Amino acid sequence: MFWNSVTRRAASSIAQSSVYKRSFFCAVSIGAAAYYLNSNNCRHMSTNHTPYTSASFEVPTQPASWAWSPERIVFDAQCVVQNVSELNDRLARIPQPSVDNFVKPLYTQENRIGPLVNQLCFLQHVSADKAVRDASIEATELLQNFEIEQALRHDLFLQFDAVWKQLNADKDAFISAAPANFEIYRFVEKSHRDYVRDGHNLSQEKRDQVKEIKKQLASNSLQFSKNLGEQQEFIAFTKEELAGVSDVVMEQFETIEEAGAPTKYKVTFKYPDIFPVLKTATNPETRKRAFLADQNKVPQNEPLFKDTLRLRNELAQTLGYDTYANYALEIKMAKKQDTVLDFLTDLKDKLEPLSKTEIATLKALKKQHCEKIGIPYDDHYYIWDTRFYNDLLLKENYQVDLELIADYFPVESTIKGMLGIYETLMKLKFVEETDPAKKKVWHQDVKQLAVWKMDDPERPAFVGWIYFDLHPRDGKYGHAANFGISSAFVDEHGQQSYPVTALVCNFSKSTANKPALLKHNEITTFFHELGHGIHDLVGKNRLSRFNGPGATPWDFVEAPSQMLEFWTWNKAELLALSQHYETGAKIPEALLDSLVKTKHVSGALFALRQLHFGFFDMKVHTTTDLDSLDVLKLWNDSREDICHVENGGEYTKGYDSFGHIMSDSYSAGYYGYMWAEVFATDMYYTKFKANPLNSTSGVQYRDIVLANGGLYEINDKLTEFLGRAPSKDAFLEEMGLSK
């Protein structure tokens, strides 16, 4: 997932884009340029340009400090508001706006301010200090509301409109006049488009209405995310109830001791706690309790979710769209809700026969297992059965023990190996900063690495910084995502500013008896998120808004990282990554062969799970009569219908923790995961399947697909990379479906 502080336009947009999780969440770009807050009371923030050496590589810039007090966070956010407001006021008064006197000051300010804003907002997801997280949320809300205010300034729109008309009077002449002019034209084009989408063709009354709706939507999204991040709920089980859960996992649970009662173990809803219980606890009641509790862990989010649906529908109607989905999709590849619904329906129909075969296999396994452990089999397959019997299927039918396999993939050596694959494939170099005096991180667990391009090994070119925050802690973002903290840009003096990005994961920590180990799905997760990170780092455009994943259409944003997941299913790469945590031995080839064969085991059912999310997302965003929409029933009944798993009469509120749907970028956009798979598979099959470590193709991929960001139409860049128009044939072949 990519989180991005999606900002849209000039100085009236205050944060630059780069997640793959990003609605209005902010993330950082710290570069070589200086960032000025030109107010008497606001600090001058600049990066230190003194080069220093890290593992023989001379780094041209140091990243900014992460030592923020709560007061400083809020104060600097206020300074940003003050400075951007002053600039916009001045620009709105220019009698004859032009590229030089109006547009250039806007994108210059956007480039400069973005890194600071992103850093202020990112801290809410990772700081160990609750006061800092709260201040970051306060700053984010302040900045979001300010962005909305500025986006609805009609005086700025009129200035943009005048420049837009000037440029289009002789577009070709303007673009050909200077190398940088195409980017400037695209900057004006996209900014003007966004102003129109904000309702600047409407009356003042309606623009005011749009403003209030957007402010409330931003507030809802922030509170929804905060509730998820701050929830400290858990479910307690006895050791007997946790039968089947490994000793290694049991060691990480806190215990509850009460006089006269058996010891109980606290299972939180963090991935390293809840997933092993759902996958390995042999008692079905334990799995049921764990699943239901996890699905219902944030009831306070339900009113926020429903209010957001209401507000989005109202926004679309006010702006003249028939549904919110059609409003959101207008700037994505799919363009229209009918295109999305046709795509989802066609894929569902193709998956149906295979999924029914998979369910029959799992039900037979459940029957056999129930008989083996002496419990009744009721001829049902429940949603809380899925992880357990999928795991058991791998063990029983494919001799794949995921816990045993994890012993061969310690976190430290495995990540080093994965970085090595990226280095070979894309001619990069990762150098970890180990000097405490130079290391600048937000938590002692975080790793900081400098990244270099090695096209010419004699003259490595610095790319930027990447952070790895790999383990769970209280208050931290609870899933896996890449946060683009800053995009590259070239400032007005021609100086390169370098990007910064962060991988935030929640892998299990070391225990007293074992180091931190990666399960195979976690290897895939890291490789995926690292793909987003590299996308963030290798951008080559002059303006920050066109670099990184967040600059691409949101139904393409996952494709580059999804393509890279293929490497984690290749036998040769997995063998090279493996190193037993005790002996250093490579994983036995027989075990590896068994693992690789399971890539598409229950694959149709997994795809249908994704389609359930996609259909739900589209239904709630295409329904205009929300009073008649029973969200609880829709969530649960559609899951039964699409996924072929039963609810057992238990209705859960999993949508209350469905963070994607509360994000502007992923709302009416969850289909994008499956949509992007089509492009991901096409790229892999065409350019890498025959030779996964082909650096010629890897560098082409880096420089054509990734480095161009969103400056050009993505279909054009895919065609250039593939040598033909994109096709869905490889995707259907990979899924085992007919063309």
pLDDT in the model for residue 665: 87
647 Cβ contact list (under 8 Å, min separation 6): 382, 383, 636, 639, 640
Bridge partner list, 313: none
Tokens matching residue 10 = 């000039």
Q: In this structure, what is the dihedral angle of CA atoms 495, 92, 206, 165, given to the nearest 10 degrees? A: -80
CA distance 453 to 440: 22
Indicate the range of 16-20, 199-203, 676-680 predicted with least confidence. Answer: 16-20
Contact 445, 475 (CB under 8 A): no
CA distance 658 to 635: 11
pLDDT in the model for residue 28: 29
Would you say residue 670 has pLDDT above 90? yes
Would you say residue 207 has pLDDT above 70? yes
Would you say residue 45 has pLDDT above 60? no
Mean pLDDT of 677-704: 98
Q: Is 529 a catalytic residue?
A: yes
Domain locations in the chain as residue ranges:
2-228, 231-297, 303-400+603-670
Mean pLDDT of 315-336: 98
Mean pLDDT of 625-645: 97
pLDDT per residue as tens digits for the range 121-177? 999 999 999 999 999 999 999 999 999 999 999 999 999 999 999 999 999 999 999
Contact 348, 354 (CB under 8 A): no
pLDDT in the model for residue 16: 30
pLDDT band at 739 (very low <50, low <70, confident <90, very high): low
Contact 191, 8 (CB under 8 A): yes
Radius of gyration of the chain from Cα atoms? 26
Would you say residue 33 has pLDDT above 80? no
pLDDT in the model for residue 42: 52
pLDDT in the model for residue 260: 87
CA distance 136 to 125: 9
Segment holding 78, helix H or strand E:
helix 70-92
pLDDT in the model for residue 49: 34
Q: Which fold has domain 2-228?
A: Glutathione S-transferase Yfyf (Class Pi); Chain A, domain 2 (1.20.1050)
Would you say residue 41 has pLDDT above 50? no
The whole-model pTM stands at 0.89
State whether the Cα torsion 685-687-690-692 is positive or negative. Answer: negative
Side-chain-facing half-sphere of 701: CA atoms under 13 Å: 28
Mean pLDDT of 642-651: 96
pLDDT band at 52 (very low <50, low <70, confident <90, very high): very low
DSSP code of residue 43: P
322 Cβ contact list (under 8 Å, min separation 6): 316, 624
Catalytic residue among 358, 433, 529, 558: 529
Indicate the range of 48-57, 199-208, 406-415 predicted with least confidence. Answer: 48-57
pLDDT per residue as tens digits for the range 542-588? 999 999 999 999 999 999 999 999 999 999 999 999 999 999 999 99
Share of the chain above pLDDT 90, in %: 87
Mean pLDDT of 276-293: 98
Closest of 294, 301, 296, 298 to residue 653, by C-alpha: 296
pLDDT band at 229 (very low <50, low <70, confident <90, very high): confident
CA distance 684 to 690: 9
pLDDT in the model for residue 58: 86
Three-state SS for 451? Answer: strand
Would you say residue 422 has pLDDT above 60? yes
CA distance 694 to 696: 5
CA distance 561 to 564: 5
Mean pLDDT of 357-374: 97
CA distance 506 to 516: 11
CA angle 377, 381, 386 (to 5 degrees): 120
Tokens matching residue 702 = 């880096």
pLDDT band at 62 (very low <50, low <70, confident <90, very high): confident
**Type of residue found at 172:** D
CA distance 531 to 364: 38
State whether the Cα torsion 148-150-155-157 is positive or negative. Answer: negative
Would you say residue 92 has pLDDT above 70? yes
Mean pLDDT of 380-397: 96
Would you say residue 44 has pLDDT above 60? no
Would you say residue 19 has pLDDT above 50? no
DSSP code of residue 662: G
CA distance 560 to 426: 13
Share of the chain above pLDDT 70, in %: 92
| b/e code 653-666 from CB counts within 10 Å (16+ = b) | bbbbbbbbbbbbbb
Class of 303-400+603-670 in CATH: mainly alpha
pLDDT in the model for residue 46: 33
Contact 665, 6 (CB under 8 A): yes
Would you say residue 477 has pLDDT above 60? yes
